[in-house]
Every structure is written in C-alpha cells, then in structure tokens.
Amino acid sequence: MQWTEDAIILGVRRHGESSVIAEVMTAARGRHLGLVRGGRSRAMQPVLQPGNAVEATWRARIEDHLGEFRIEPVRLRAAKLMETATAVNGVQAMAALLRLLPERDPHPHLYEALDLILDHLDEPVAAGELFVRFELALLNDLGFGLDLTECAATGLTTDLAFVSPKSGRAVSRDAGSPYADRMLALPGFLAPGATTAADGAALAAAFRLTAFFLARHVYEPRGVMPSDAREGFVRAALKALQQRSETPVSPIGPA
C-alpha cells in the first residue's frame, strides 16, 4: 500500500531512539499517523513542526498498519506561527479539534480551512472569525451542525438574534426576546448575508456559542475537556481586539 498527499503537520510524538510518529491532516486521507524514521534528526525536526505544509508519502504492507511516512517540506511556516499568541495557541487548538474526528476519515473542506487559517493566525481579527467558522464546520461534520439560516419559530431569514440551546437553530429577535435569558446570542457576522467583520463583543459571543455546543455534544459525552490551547487562543484574539477598541471586552461563559 502506498499513497502521496499534500499534508499539514499536526504533531509528533517520540518513538524509540531516533524516530517519531507523525500526525498529519490531508484532504483525501483525513487525519493520518505514520512512523518517520530519523524524525528526531536535526534535518527533520524543523520540518515536522505543527503547521508546516509537507508532501507525505505513506507506505505499509497492509492498510490497517501504522505504516511509514516519507516527508518532504513544502511550506515551512512554523517559525511564523511562533511569533504571536494567537498563532501559537491557534495551531494547537485546531489540531486538538481535528483529533475529535475518526482517524483516516476524509474531511477535505476542513483540510482546506486549516490551510487557510494557518496563513492568517497572526491577524487576530481574521483569525478569530475563521476559527469560529472552523469550529462550526467541525460540529457539522460530527453530526451536530447548527442551522443559522432562518428562524426556527417563524421561518424568517432577517433580524436573527438568538440561537436555541436545545435545537441549535437560529431564532429571530421578536420570537426570541421573551426567552432571551435562556437563549444564546447569535453574533451578527454569523447571520445570513452578513458583510461586516466581527467586533470584540460579537467575537466573544461567537466563541461562547461554539464552546456551548462543543461541550454539550462532544466533550461531555466523551468525558474529555477542551484543550487549554483553545482558551489561550480565545484570550489572545480578544485581547488583540481590545487593544483596537476603547471598551474592553471579556469572554463570559465557556471559552
């Protein structure tokens, strides 16, 4: 068995004296593991850093085996990803999210989204919005997608202001106002047809929204905790926005 794919390094762990087991994300093969012989060498260590784009060739006698990778560098962006708190935490947080998916299960749009976001993690505003959309896409692939396209009560597609914590569907301002204390806020930039970028308050609300449904549908049923890197990313992204605004914004609730 053999295949060659463009891949993004998610992480590595030591194996024996000089080798590592590399974890990569590919478009066609999903999240995949493989042994890299000599992966701890001076030549390979810079290549096998999270966030780097590589060409991975995987070989194994039988498809179910761990197999071996031959890794060739394509874009070594790990050094840039070490320059800001959003980037350092973001790459780790997205890797942790992808580990919620079954190994070798293809998710090409998540691979494409990961590749795009990695190029913008040093831009806090863009990184925050893209990260939230990445979490929404992941929820959808796990079978817990939110329906933010129309009001669950009236079918309207305008003035959507809330999300029902029970159904994960959008609710209009008029229909949801009597129950506002039991609703989650729908940030304007996630509403259908939105053209404006998120401000600090909207981004904080978006992080609370995805955190709620990830906790309810994924983390709690599996008995696991979200990665510390996500909290680090959220705080770094909101702090960067605070520095551009006169009014500080603090995340409330799970983040």
User: Is the domain of 29 the same as that of 67?
Assistant: yes
Q: Model pTM?
A: 0.92
Domain boundary among 26, 45, 76: 76
> Which tokens belong to 90?
């973001």
> Which tokens belong to 58?
């995987």
pLDDT band (50, 70, 90) for residue 255: very low
User: Is the domain of 70 the same as that of 86?
Assistant: no
Domain of 114, in residue numbers: 81-148+186-242
| Rounded CA separation 218/207 (Å) | 16
pLDDT band (50, 70, 90) for residue 249: low
Q: Average pLDDT of 123-127?
A: 84
User: Is the domain of 205 the same as that of 134?
Assistant: yes
Query: Tell me: the pLDDT tens digits for 59-97?
Result: 999 998 999 999 999 999 999 999 999 999 999 999 999
User: Is the domain of 20 the same as that of 143?
Assistant: no
Query: Tell me: the pLDDT tens digits for 139-178?
Result: 999 999 999 999 999 999 999 999 999 999 999 999 999 9
Domain boundary among 35, 51, 76: 76
H or E element in which residue 80 lies: helix 78-81
| Rounded CA separation 47/54 (Å) | 8
Whichever domain contains 134, its CATH number is: 1.20.1440
The HSE-up count of residue 194 (CA atoms within 13 Å, CB side) is 17
**Angle of the 85-98 helix axis to the 108-118 helix axis, nearest 10:** 170
The answer to whether residue 253 scores a pLDDT higher than 90 is no
User: Is the domain of 95 the same as that of 13?
Assistant: no
The answer to whether residue 242 scores a pLDDT higher than 90 is no
Average predicted confidence (pLDDT) for the chain: 93
H or E element in which residue 55 lies: strand 53-59
Domain boundary among 76, 96, 125: 76
User: Is the domain of 98 the same as that of 205?
Assistant: yes
> Does residue 169 form part of some domain?
no
Q: Average pLDDT of 210-214?
A: 98
Give 3-state DSSP helix, strand, coil % of the chain, rounded to 5: 40, 20, 40
Q: Identify each DSSP E strand in 188-238 by its residue range.
A: none
In this prediction, residue 250 carries a pLDDT of: 55
User: How many other C-beta atoms are found inside a 10 Å radius of the C-beta of residue 121?
Assistant: 30
Q: Which residues of 84-112 are buried (b: 16+ CB within 10 A; e: fewer)?
A: bbbbbbbbbbbbbbbebbeeeeebeebbe
Whichever domain contains 64, its CATH number is: 2.40.50.140
Given a contact cutoff of 8 angstroms between Cβ atoms, the answer to whether 52 and 7 are in contact is no
> Does residue 134 form part of some domain?
yes
How many structural domains are present in the chain?
2
The answer to whether residue 6 scores a pLDDT higher than 50 is yes
User: Is the domain of 101 the same as that of 62?
Assistant: no
User: Is the domain of 61 the same as that of 113?
Assistant: no
User: Is the domain of 116 the same as that of 218?
Assistant: yes
User: Is the domain of 9 the same as that of 121?
Assistant: no
Which residues lie closer than 8 Å to 187 by C-beta, 6 or more apart?
198, 202, 203, 205, 206, 209
User: Is the domain of 61 the same as that of 43?
Assistant: yes
